[in-house]
Amino acid sequence: MKRILLFLATNMAVMALIGVVFQLLGIQGMLASNGVDLNLQAVMVMSLIVGFSGSVISLFMSKSMAKRSMGVRVIEQPANNAERWLLETVYRQAEKAGIGRPEVGIFDSPQPNAFATGANKNAALVAVSSGLLNAMTEDEVEAVLGHEVSHVANGDMVTMALIQGVVNTFVMFLSTVIGHLVDRVVFKTERGHGPAYYITSIIAQLVLSVLASIIVMWFSRQREFRADRGGAELAGRQKMIASLRRLQQAHATEDLPDQMAAFGISGGVAHGLKALFLTHPPLEQRIAALENMQ
């Protein structure tokens, strides 16, 4: 709750700062002189509500959506020694990390992967693929579980939802202002909204959303380094390194849906500008960071 309040307070403070900057730059006066009856404060509030509503709703639905979309079978009663070991390992790591026991599940996929999700760190979900269990040793699986438990303990799901809400707010606010400026100042629309407003707003949203995605993905990559360190602390650094090296041997590990990809153990591979949109750093960088960890 403190994290949510802090993000909201920060977002509101930055939006207030933008309002001051707009006043200093004379944008409000420019709008008024061109007959633009745009209330920036009202646009700010509307952008804040719309920007956060989608990300917050997705956060609270994340666990149920993950179960359905991935076909996760939650382990209620262990059916064999492997499932019993999974439960005991996650519970032990959760206790060490200071969080409540997550639900533990398995989903069918030939590719080695795992993810953690949930709006509450004390009621999260940690799931691993059947391919991961088949491809990795017990020590390597333990490290992967530690990585996912660390995501939960760090509150990464909440953090990413809030960051997405912040950038959504700015995208909507700026695109609305840009649309009004072009419509009234350039095309001299006197009443209501002309076609220029809608076209410009949509184009601005697309461009700003791309730029915002770069910011969100940067934060996503940083939290992966942090989760790797957490996995190393919970399971052992060499085990964590070994698990990442095992993932390097798998040529197709990004089989999670888009909405879950950021919470998997491994992302895709890209070069150049495409690398800016990766949810995960390259595995070689993650391994190097662990090797250099004090």
What single string gives the DSSP state of each residue in 207-218?
HHHHHHHHHHHH
Tokens of 228: 């790797």
Return the residue matching tokens 């795992």.
114
Task: Report in angstroms the alpha-carbon separations of 276 from 94, 216, 219, 226, 271.
Answer: 32, 10, 11, 19, 9
The distance of Cα 80 from the centroid of its chain, to the nearest Å, equals 34
Is 148 known to be catalytic? yes
Distance CA 262, CA 163 (A): 13
Four-CA torsion 198, 200, 205, 211, nearest 10 degrees: 180
Given the residues 83, 103, 142, 148, the one annotated as active site: 148
What positions carry a catalytic annotation? 148
